[in-house]
Amino acid sequence: MHAIQPLLAKTDFPPLRRITLKTLQINLGYRCNQSCLHCHVSAGPNRTEEMDSDTVDTVLEFVARHPGIELLDITGGAPEMNLHFPRLVTEAHKLKRRVMDRCNLTILEDPGYEDMADFLAAHRVEIVASLPCYTEDNVDTQRGKGTFDASIRALKQLNKLGYGHPDTGLQLHLVFNPQGASLPPNQTNLKTEYQRRLWQEHRIVFNELFVIANMPIGRFGSILVSKKQFTPYLTLLKNAHQPANLANVMCRTLISVDWQGYVYDCDFNQMLNIPLGARGSERTHLESLMGTDVTGAPIAVAQHCYGCTAGQGSSCGGALRATSTSVTLTHLRSLTPGESHV
């Protein structure tokens, strides 16, 4: 996974510094019931990395000591597959923090997880669910055969529990990723189309749609390299860079924690093993930050950071600005003859 890191290390991305820490993003491990093509974590059923009970305790202590943290953003893999997921959610709920679960939907009907949707609703967990298209062919191509139908069934189950309806407070957000080496389309326009198609064809409702650019790391990065699209995709991201997005990139208010408790400036840096603050430094464990105010600290950047500032911008919470973006590699090739390939 880290073989791509040297290709991203030399960068002219603008320097960034932190502001107030508001989000703690926790990766509970890389085990997942799916193996999606766009997965920057390279998660799958055969991965064994999982956060243990002691590290979960450290996370909860950190949250308790830092009242400025508003959101516990739980991700994976499929985070629900971690044995300690229910305790983490329950205790964070007691601490009166917002809890977000990045759910792949299909896990909700896997054996052993049939009660998970009820648990999430009872603890009023926000759900951010991957659904990279409203058509079966596109979803199954990216996430595996049968995924679309399973996702639709899960969404209907969540709707029945009150998720996605405007008057319940149970938030259900969907995530769109492009099929390949292109930037996502306008988030506002695509949300309207998602709402129309999912309601007309399946009677499904949701709250927001997050469009997220694919990062050139992990499984997706390896695919780009194999197709000789790695350098062109980086060029696409850099050419679409919008300086205005720098003010709102997620790393300025977020810290990412891996399954062992080490901290990074974002989930993408975590996957590249780029430690908090500066490339090449020793990894920092969450325990050592218990009494630390990270406001003003430098953020480690590399070439993949252009994925967050290209066009309308991209973050774990979707687009940073509502601008229309539909640039593709095909379009880029017409602008930059003599491109190079990895």
Asked whether residue 38 carries a pLDDT value surpassing 60, the answer given is no
| Pairing status of strand 23-27 against strand 254-257 | parallel
Are the C-beta atoms of residues 331 and 218 closer than 8 Å to each other? no
Asked whether residue 199 carries a pLDDT value surpassing 70, the answer given is yes
pLDDT, tens digit (0-9, with 9 covering 90-100), for 163-192 = 999 999 999 999 998 878 889 999 999 999
The strand pairing partners of 44, in sequence order, are 31
Identify the CATH assignment for 2-335 out of 3.40.50, 3.20.20, 2.60.120, 3.10.450.
Answer: 3.20.20
Whole-angstrom CA distances from 174 to 195, 249, 256, 342 are 10, 20, 21, 33
Neighbour count for residue 118 (Cβ, 10 Å): 12
Domain spans, the chain: 2-335
pLDDT, tens digit (0-9, with 9 covering 90-100), for 71-89 = 999 998 889 999 999 999 9
Phi, psi (deg, nearest 5) at residue 337:
-65, 155
Highest mean pLDDT among 135-139, 282-286, 326-330: 282-286
> Looking at per-residue confidence, does 78 or 338 come out higher?
78
Phi, psi (deg, nearest 5) at residue 107:
-60, -25
Neighbour count for residue 314 (Cβ, 10 Å): 29
Asked whether residue 132 carries a pLDDT value surpassing 90, the answer given is no
DSSP state of 134: S
pTM of the model: 0.87
Q: In terms of C-beta density within 10 A (0-12 exposed, 13-18 middle, 19 or more buried), how is residue 190 classed?
A: middle
